Structure 1
């Protein structure tokens, strides 16, 4: 039997299905986009409301939009689209199944859709387009929820079953594509961005104190938590089911982060030989597009390996770099320029200056929750530059969390060793350490040794519980307890820290920054190092000491660099994609950010606590903390959030 999925508009469908209407304009492609949905058993959503919610995300999909709306108004799905693959009209969304029973709205890219298409064809399916949306819908019809085990890509999608009146949704393993939702008052509303849900006139805007503690502690809000009470995010690697009639919501993982089983580690050369084809396949798949594809080349190890591999498997590669010419300690553009010349890529550079402070309000508005990662600015700037020449770009995100690139992993290892030996009792006591000023390096080091929390929880902390307690009261400390549960069953300090960062920092800081900053310019950023096969390899086959060992980090990727990058390339250098924040705060950003930070005491935080915090010794580098408070205040004003 030949099965066919594709766009057929059913005004009357057999088997007692609801009639529905599709409203679509200017369709070109099935890919990067924004999705929205509304489901209720008693409160209909008007077409006007649904369109308003969808169009808050016009930047995510400027090339077209679509709506599916049930005749009774109780269910609606919306979609915005950015044209990248299959530039025909064959990938219209929301897309119905061939019999009209299912309707899908989908954001993302299934990188192995060609292979899945061939498998499904062998099983009797026929296709009317080259759209991966069509493949995803057929895969769900063929294998049900088990189709998730076969997907390689970044995605957030929802499929509505019109006959059963049930919704199924899922998010990719790394959390590259976002999915917010609110379940209350016998209805479920979901969207790629929180602002789309808030566009509904009945949505409250009260801050969540637990999420606020997480933000103050680490600079972002992790996993299912949301800065607004009553809202949530679908965590990475999770699926969601919603039964409209029963008003029953179920959320559960469909995938778990693997763990090295211990024993004798495999030889490094054998591991490298096994890793190379996985990496090549990931890069090759992610270069697949019907529009120009670029590579973000920072000059660091991860992006340099991506660029070198792209140049190996593609005849034409354009690389883009952002530099800070007035701050050599932050400027990797000369290295990127030299490497691009040896790889033979067309290379484009952009210089970032301190006068970019005027971008902060618009970026704060774009980020659905506050985030203290100042690299959102260069990410946005380079995305805007790339978008003038390409619609898709590859980057090196994920390399640090998968392969042990951060110095803090070595610190977690050392602190755990000191504690096992009892050496922390020989040093400065906790009360004495607390007398040192905030931001003072020795203070942080001393407190790490005597901190009652796991080292993995303290090495990347932005503010200590005592400091947060002065700002928000007794809620302080919730963040550490929550994060500790994510490391259950893992005992090696480095593995614990890397697993925690993968599930929180990478997903809810790095990838949020990448998604929002790039989609604001309608650019799709892809991360080959987050291919599922590479994630499984890094956490499942590499022993912790083969990823990072003391001051030696990213050992496998450095071995690959010796095979693929020039001899002069310094793979041991670790700079990070960041801005000279402290210098800019002493200059043109000072008044803006300090005034905003002070304003946080008028909104969500205790005024006396904020004043005390900002009176800290100016000789101590508190730039990151001041920036975090300023971003929190800009977010509060933009989203009109209160604590009541």
Structure 2
């Protein structure tokens, strides 16, 4: 695990590759790799690289980067872990390659030399890396299958800049920092900008499962090298209807995934909330080590989010060395602007704060690597909101859209709309239903299209066509309507699986948007802010691919959310843990923003000082949430994170 950055001049006129710029780039991400740093510049190839190291596999200097093969024909900068590197190393040694280190990075070098860019299909792990071929004069930057590791780029002045974090790109003197109104609009919907957008104009994030290529003619291209959706035969589909078949395979895949993520030359710990995801993770890890350290965070001013009792129960059952930290609004507020800095762009998930503090607790207790539970709720249908959407879809949305003529639906919309002007949530649902639009847009929606009409009156900026977005997502509409993002991803799903059920549609959208850009981004940024590597056993690509084929009626069976995972936990975890009401890993933002000592005044000050949209329209929105302080806290947090950008 580490951080890297670099730039490649694509202009015909050569420039001096500046060591000082590269040094500034690596210093800006020193938190990602506190163990060591290095830069490298080559004027002939017009390429410069910067690297920060967090030593996890091969702690010696031989594992340092940028790493070259012995012939210096290939150079790589790599962030992440390759869990199957020992198997790949054995294959490559049998082919005659001689290794000079025991690092996983070196397997990428020789794997590329043997198989070319197709080596990425052999890599099992989480990764973002750049690789340059001196002989072919080709550069690739690559993001892993699920999007565990972030990767950003910009093409300003026709110079490709790339980095693990946006802040490294600001060290390039020619890079402009300007808010993109289109990206900001989508941020208000999804609580984070959807890839390939970032909140900044002309700065992009590479989507999960994509790579960018610069060829010898300095031509730019993109490739979606991985998609978790694959076709299966009718006989295979029939197998997935068997609960026993699913249970046996899921358990086997989870055990295998947890074991892979124990690969390390330093101790591996676990974040433990006391819910079934992290508890099962701890149970499986405890079979592989007798010295497991676990870490829990709680809130002194958020009793409804406090799960210490359950975390202690699991820690005691599996004999872990357990550590706890309790924080209040004061600690949260003191960290808030630092959080904004580490995130680079607004990411309105309050879990960033407890995630940072539990990562700090781990690092303070000698842990550089920790397994976390991200992805379990998405794969196994664990949220109340999922259940509510499925009930609406099955009982009303699907049958009426199928059998009720469009003219009647349109008439119903026209008749009912005037009565819903003071309820934009229901009005939005009504319009989407009548116009045959999707019911589910994502598991974390802050402002729907009707809300945005209220708080953004007259907001109609000129939309500049972005050729980079078009190259990455050909045909996606570039407009002030977040349905364009949803429609594009669902259209790609239907091309691969025209019969995809509603639960598969939901999971597809979560894998394309909320998981990589919100949940995994927060996990990466907050853990790396403390120099801790977070590993996600529930997001092994084999498990993800398997869960894509599991029918929704097995994921949500007999009214039980996360049915299959709970069945697997029987006999491993106490029934009291399995059957208790889900709390969820969260923070008491509704208390902080409505009755806290620090955040209400901070929110008011930001709101009063803004010259951008939203600032004068808070009251217009708040009246729609006067009986729902929990939801309005979400919207306030979204706006506050946008305003806090420096």
- Which of the five TM-score ranges fits, normalised by the shorter chain? 0.7 to 0.9
Asked if the contact 2:556/2:563 (under 8 Å) is kept, the reply is: yes
- TM-score by length of structure 1 reads 0.88
- 1:144 shift after superposition: 1.0
Residue 462 (str. 1) matches residue 446 (str. 2):
yes
- 1:469 shift after superposition: 3.3
Who is 1:533 aligned against?
Answer: 542
Aligned with 1:568: secondary structure?
helix
Who is 1:363 aligned against?
Answer: 339
> Residues of 2 paired with 1:353 and 1:444: CA distance?
36
What CA deviation, in whole Å up to 9, does each residue of 1:316-362 have, x standing for no partner?
11111112244332111101101110111111111121112121111
Q: 1:316 to 1:39 in 2, by over 3 A?
A: same
> Residues of 1 paired with 2:428 and 2:581: CA distance?
24
* Structure 2 residues not aligned, in runs of 5+: 462-478
- 1:54 shift after superposition: 1.7
Who is 1:501 aligned against?
Answer: 510
Q: 1:576 aligns with which of 569, 579, 584?
A: 584
> Residues of 2 paired with 1:393 and 1:38: CA distance?
31
What CA deviation, in whole Å up to 9, does each residue of 1:263-288 have, x standing for no partner?
53342122222222221121112112
Moved over 6 A (4+): 423-428, 442-448
Q: 1:119 to 1:459 in 2, by over 3 A?
A: closer
Who is 1:486 aligned against?
Answer: 489
Asked if the contact 2:198/2:205 (under 8 Å) is kept, the reply is: yes
Q: 1:515 to 1:235 in 2, by over 3 A?
A: same
Residue 374 (str. 1) matches residue 382 (str. 2):
no
> Residues of 1 paired with 2:605 and 2:107: CA distance?
48
Residue 139 (str. 1) matches residue 111 (str. 2):
yes
Who is 2:418 aligned against?
Answer: 431
Who is 1:297 aligned against?
Answer: 272
- TM-score by length of structure 2 reads 0.88
Asked if the contact 2:442/2:506 (under 8 Å) is kept, the reply is: no
Residue 309 (str. 1) matches residue 284 (str. 2):
yes
Who is 2:224 aligned against?
Answer: 253
What CA deviation, in whole Å up to 9, does each residue of 1:114-156 have, x standing for no partner?
1111121222222122100011111111111111111111100
> Residues of 1 paired with 2:518 and 2:605: CA distance?
21
Asked if the contact 1:297/1:304 (under 8 Å) is kept, the reply is: yes
> Residues of 2 paired with 1:560 and 1:596: CA distance?
49
* Structure 1 residues not aligned, in runs of 5+: 1-31, 639-644
Q: 1:219 to 1:292 in 2, by over 3 A?
A: same
**356-365 or 586-595, which deviates more:** 586-595
Who is 1:415 aligned against?
Answer: 392
Residue 558 (str. 1) matches residue 566 (str. 2):
yes
Cα RMSD (Å): 2.4
Who is 1:8 aligned against?
Answer: none
Who is 1:230 aligned against?
Answer: 202
Who is 2:374 aligned against?
Answer: 397
Asked if the contact 2:191/2:444 (under 8 Å) is kept, the reply is: no
Structure 1 segment 315-334 matched on structure 2, within 5 A:
315-334=290-309
**463-472 or 492-501, which deviates more:** 463-472
> Residues of 2 paired with 1:256 and 1:378: CA distance?
32
Who is 1:35 aligned against?
Answer: 4
Residue 85 (str. 1) matches residue 57 (str. 2):
yes
Aligned with 1:625: secondary structure?
helix
- 1:617 shift after superposition: 5.7
Who is 2:468 aligned against?
Answer: none
Residue 274 (str. 1) matches residue 283 (str. 2):
no
- 1:477 shift after superposition: 4.4
- 1:614 shift after superposition: 5.0
Count of matched residue positions in the alignment of Structure 1 and Structure 2: 599
Who is 2:122 aligned against?
Answer: 150
Who is 1:9 aligned against?
Answer: none
What CA deviation, in whole Å up to 9, does each residue of 1:235-269 have, x standing for no partner?
111111113x5331111111112257565334212
Q: 1:520 aligns with which of 509, 515, 529?
A: 529
Q: 1:567 to 1:419 in 2, by over 3 A?
A: closer
Q: 1:451 to 1:326 in 2, by over 3 A?
A: farther
Who is 1:12 aligned against?
Answer: none
- 1:511 shift after superposition: 0.6
Q: 1:596 to 1:285 in 2, by over 3 A?
A: farther
> Residues of 1 paired with 2:73 and 2:55: CA distance?
26
Q: 1:572 to 1:123 in 2, by over 3 A?
A: farther
Who is 2:27 aligned against?
Answer: 55
Q: 1:260 to 1:493 in 2, by over 3 A?
A: farther
> Residues of 1 paired with 2:558 and 2:177: CA distance?
45
- 1:599 shift after superposition: 4.3
